[in-house]
Amino acid sequence: MKKLLVGAMVGGLLLSQITASKAIQFAGWTQQGSSNTFTWTGNSSGGGTLTASAPFLFTVQGPPTHFGSLLAPGTYMTTLTFNASSTLKAQDLIALKAQDLTNISWSFKLNDVSTGGLNGKIILANNTVGFPAGTFIGAQNTQTPSLQADSTIGNAVNFTSDIFTTLAGATEQVYSYTYSNGKPGPGATQPFHFVADPFPFDFQGYIQNSNFSASGTASANENAVPEPGTVAMLTGLAISGSVFGLRRRRK
């Protein structure tokens, strides 16, 4: 009985070794220069768009085995293209001004010649259509916002990459863009300024035009695969314990 129990316990340990996972931040990015290349264009009917095209420094965070990365940990030159939009009205939640975005696509393309044959490849991209695909949110009217998307809370997130070769199947995909240096765009008097509907107490409206610079991070849940020797040892222990227990029961 003890051997059978040991076999079951070791089998459970083996299963936990194979299926164990951990959420990790595997990448980050910062805009080169301080120009406000992210443009939010509000729509008085309730929607808005967020666009950008700019050079970014993209950091691959170690160890190099994360998601089958073809690049060593380090910082690389990339070009970001970014497009997001929503037809939904923004919500005035008293302390938070939130605009759910239903379409988001962005990609970082390597323009770093030091990467050799990888130059021109997509280091990280996201392309989602859903409700919501992410939320453009800020703390107060005069503070700059962030963009948050997290698959664990129902956001549509879909990472793809030519560099992180095993990323597509990762769970708990999360990314964020933190905006700074906000300036009012045409027709606006304050950065990230919420304009309420004329109807009282509906807490809806739109966000006026603003321009920002940005930085960001990406995280995902990577399955931890044990070393082959560990798998073999645990499998052997589990089988031997179970077989011994069966023999004792037959006797």
Q: Where are the domains of the chain?
A: 18-250
Question: Can you name the residues that pair with 212 across neighbouring β-strands?
Answer: 38
Each residue of 118-170: pLDDT tens digit?
Answer: 999 999 999 999 888 999 998 666 677 899 999 988 898 999 999 999 998 78
Give pLDDT tens digits for 157-213: 999 999 999 998 788 999 999 999 888 887 788 888 888 887 767 789 998 899 999
Helix ranges (H only) for the chain are 2-19, 228-250
Q: % helix / strand / coil in the chain, to the nearest 5? A: 20, 50, 30
CA–CA distance, 222 with 212 (Å, rounded to integer): 32
Q: Determine the pLDDT at residue 188.
A: 82
Whether 238 and 7 have beta carbons less than 8 Å apart is answered as: yes
Please determine, for residue 9, whether its predicted confidence score (pLDDT) is greater than 50: no
Each residue of 13-62: pLDDT tens digit? Answer: 333 333 344 668 999 999 998 789 999 999 888 889 999 999 999 999 98
Amino acid at 17: Q
3-state secondary structure 50-115: EEEEEEEEEEECCCCCHHHECCCCEEEEEEEEEEEEECCCEEEECCEEEEEEEEEEEEEEECCHHH
Mean of the per-residue pLDDT values for the chain?
Answer: 80
Terminal-to-terminal C-alpha distance of the chain: 12
CA 32 from chain centre, in angstroms, equals 21
| φ, ψ (nearest 5 deg) of residue 163 | -105, -45
